[in-house]
């Protein structure tokens, strides 16, 4: 049964007897082996009175206010939010902020110790009487009543849930309590960076208190045990699950949230290794297929803006060949780019059986060169999905000129939200496009969804070699505004996870530096005639970028080839 304010504090005084009862316990209990404590319910035993009383020293409300700015307030006001459920109230920092900004706020938490402290803090900071409810997220609709415009779950709190079953249930409860156009905001530590590169912290945004520390005591893929040290030498611990960023995004999508924007330390643009914290802003509002362009991820938006630019369009049209804009297979020095690129298409097509009845989806289709080859050669129908409206317009024009417009359809859209029904295609095809996604797992899930049983997924993608070090790829990643690239091992692992069988990799990595070197040669040879079409700044940056590709490819840091997976 939900606990009311009266249950938590019988008077306005923070030191009232009932409050004292709640904060009396001082010792944390983790048993004989703390590293084995991996249970969603254990956090209630971790937030003991002594820890709760020191929590605000760790946060430092003033510094938290300054570092956070108006980020959360702006997100809520931009969506017309009035009512908010603060689902992880803690000691009340965000509840007080929300009340100060005029939001109707209910404060919930699974720890009665935290709620007692939050209630007294509300009185201390502005004389606010918090509407507090002791509630477990897994039974949120039982313990908290009503619908809300927004739910916020902040302070790295979602990380207390150790089982996927619990995480799914909590997200489903959040989804159910939101109004039809509501928004959920969840934050988390950057566990990707901690797991992959070790712990570092700017000690700026979340835990900014002086002379305190919050650092990992132990980390593996299933546990992040943090130690909190205070000036009086007292130490406390929290056992948490190290959530990876894209895993959380995937769970949110599967529960029903469509648009999910992920920020790093309150910034829209960042490299994944940089932020201390990620903030996921997930919208419940349902968008039909024709509105899916509105839910592009930040990485896809970046790629879309790039390929829609006049400079990029002219470069790929006049330098890269303007038909097949992907990596080619070269038979000799000085071979034309379009001939080598067409050879890649032919080699890919030779790996599958194609008839006039075959339905093919080309994701990231560019100017549609592969679609025209497939339709003209086999008489099959091809659907082109591409994020650049500029490239799509050229695609439609070329199809009409070739008399293939009845066999080829062209759609604006992202491969992170493919606007086609399940089991719609015999073959999903892609050439050198998936690297532009900031959520490649999501792309592969969408591909698997639209691929019929027994169908084939056939694609190429510039990849990091399995043994490559991230620092060796830095110039390429910076140029593409990406934090990572896929690798042969990544694609094998993820495709197997999704149930695709017989994942074959036709390793053609030797052609990658050859191709980028050939593009560089053509760009330099045509610079005089391109001056009026492509800006000098774009040409200069492109030459640097192409040289980076050549150098990394020759050093063995990159991989490329044809991957064929069967459903």
What is the residue-level pLDDT of the chain in tens, covering all 567 positions? Answer: 333 333 333 333 233 334 444 444 468 888 899 999 899 988 888 888 888 888 888 878 888 888 888 999 999 999 999 999 999 999 999 999 999 999 999 999 999 999 999 999 999 999 999 999 999 999 999 999 999 999 999 999 999 999 999 999 999 999 999 999 999 999 999 999 899 888 766 555 555 556 788 888 999 999 999 998 888 888 899 999 999 998 999 899 899 998 888 888 877 655 655 788 999 999 998 877 666 555 566 666 677 777 778 888 888 888 887 888 899 999 988 899 999 999 999 999 999 999 999 999 999 999 999 999 999 999 999 999 998 899 999 999 999 999 999 999 999 998 988 999 999 999 999 999 999 887 899 899 999 999 999 999 999 999 999 999 888 888 888 887 777 899 999 999 999 989 998 899 999 999 999 999 999 999 999 988 989 999 999 899 999 999 999 999 999 999 999 999 999
Q: How many CB atoms lie within 10 A of CB 258?
A: 17
Q: How far is CA 498 from CA 257, 446, 458, 567, in A?
A: 21, 10, 15, 9
* Integer Cα distance of 369 and 115 in angstroms: 61
Which residues on neighbouring strands pair with residue 277, listed in sequence order?
Answer: 189
Q: Is the pTM of this model over 0.85?
A: no
Instruction: Assess contact for 27 and 48: CB atoms under 8 A.
Output: yes
pLDDT at 296: 61
Main-chain phi, psi angles of 160, to 5 degrees: -75, -15
pLDDT at 24: 45
Instruction: Assess contact for 263 and 278: CB atoms under 8 A.
Output: yes
Residues with Cβ within 8 Å of 525's Cβ and at least 6 positions away in sequence, in order, are none
pLDDT at 372: 97
* Integer Cα distance of 329 and 340 in angstroms: 5
DSSP helix/strand/coil, 352: coil
Going by C-alpha positions, the residue among 465, 460, 489, 491 that lies closest to residue 476 is 465
* Integer Cα distance of 213 and 230 in angstroms: 7
* Integer Cα distance of 311 and 325 in angstroms: 15
* Integer Cα distance of 255 and 384 in angstroms: 28
Q: H-type helices in 461-532, by residue range?
A: 474-480, 488-497, 511-525, 527-530
282 CB-contact burial (10 Å; exposed 0-12 / middle 13-18 / buried 19+): buried
Tokens of 118: 């939050």
* Integer Cα distance of 540 and 529 in angstroms: 15
* Integer Cα distance of 152 and 156 in angstroms: 11
pLDDT at 304: 75
Residues with Cβ within 8 Å of 238's Cβ and at least 6 positions away in sequence, in order, are 43, 46, 160, 225, 226, 228
């Amino acid at each position: 049964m939900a606990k009311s304010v009266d249950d938590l504090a019988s008077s306005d005084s923070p030191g009232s007897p009932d409050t004292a009862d709640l904060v009396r316990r001082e010792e944390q209990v983790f048993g004989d082996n703390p590293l084995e404590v991996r249970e969603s319910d254990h956090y209630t035993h971790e937030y003991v009175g002594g820890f709760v009383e020191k929590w605000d020293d760790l946060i430092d409300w003033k510094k938290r206010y300054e570092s956070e700015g108006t980020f959360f307030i702006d997100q809520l006001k931009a969506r017309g939010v009035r009512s908010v459920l603060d689902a992880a109230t803690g000691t009340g920092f965000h509840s007080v902020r929300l009340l100060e900004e005029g939001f109707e706020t209910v404060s919930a938490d699974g720890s009665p110790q935290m709620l007692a402290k939050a209630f007294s803090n509300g009185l201390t900071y502005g004389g606010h009487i918090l509407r507090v409810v002791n509630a477990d997220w897994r039974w949120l609709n039982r313990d908290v009543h009503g619908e809300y415009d927004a739910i916020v779950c902040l302070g790295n709190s979602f990380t207390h849930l150790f089982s996927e079953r619990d995480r799914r249930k909590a997200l489903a409860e959040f989804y159910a309590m939101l109004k039809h156009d509501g928004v959920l905001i969840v934050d988390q530590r950057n566990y990707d960076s901690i797991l992959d590169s070790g712990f570092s912290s700017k000690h700026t945004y979340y835990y900014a208190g002086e002379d305190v520390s919050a650092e990992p005591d132990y980390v593996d893929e299933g546990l992040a045990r943090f130690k909190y040290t205070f000036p009086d030498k007292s130490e406390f611990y929290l056992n948490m699950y190290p959530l990876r960023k894209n895993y959380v995004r995937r769970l949110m999508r599967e529960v029903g949230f469509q648009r999910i924007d992920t920020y790093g330390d309150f910034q829209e643009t960042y490299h994944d290794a940089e932020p201390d914290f990620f903030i996921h802003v997930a919208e419940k509002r349902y968008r039909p297929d024709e509105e899916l362009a509105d839910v592009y991820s930040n990485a896809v938006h970046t790629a879309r803006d790039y390929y829609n630019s006049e400079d990029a369009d002219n470069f790929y049209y006049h330098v890269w060949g303007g038909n097949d804009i992907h990596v080619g297979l070269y038979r000799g020095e000085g071979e034309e780019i379009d001939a080598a690129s067409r050879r890649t298409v032919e080699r890919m097509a030779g790996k599958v059986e194609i008839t006039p009845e075959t339905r093919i989806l080309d994701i990231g289709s560019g100017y549609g060169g592969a679609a025209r080859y497939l339709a003209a050669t086999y008489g099959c129908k091809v659907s082109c999905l591409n994020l650049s409206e500029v490239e799509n317009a050229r695609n439609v024009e070329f199809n009409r000129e070739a008399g293939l417009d009845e066999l080829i359809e062209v759609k604006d859209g992202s491969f992170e939200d493919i606007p086609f029904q399940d089991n719609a295609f015999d073959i999903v095809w892609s050439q050198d496009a998936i690297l532009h996604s900031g959520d490649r797992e999501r792309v592969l899930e969408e591909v698997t969804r639209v691929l019929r049983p027994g169908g084939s997924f056939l694609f190429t993608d510039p990849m990091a070699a399995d043994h490559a070090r991230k620092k060796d790829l830095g110039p390429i990643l910076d140029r593409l505004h990406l934090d990572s690239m896929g690798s042969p091992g990544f694609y094998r692992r993820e495709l197997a996870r999704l149930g695709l069988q017989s994942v074959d990799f036709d390793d053609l990595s030797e052609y990658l530096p050859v191709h980028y070197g050939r593009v560089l040669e053509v760009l330099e040879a045509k610079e005089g005639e391109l001056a009026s079409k492509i800006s000098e700044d774009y040409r200069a940056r492109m030459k640097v970028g192409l040289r980076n590709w050549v150098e990394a490819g020759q050093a063995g840091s990159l991989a490329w080839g044809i991957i064929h997976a069967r459903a």
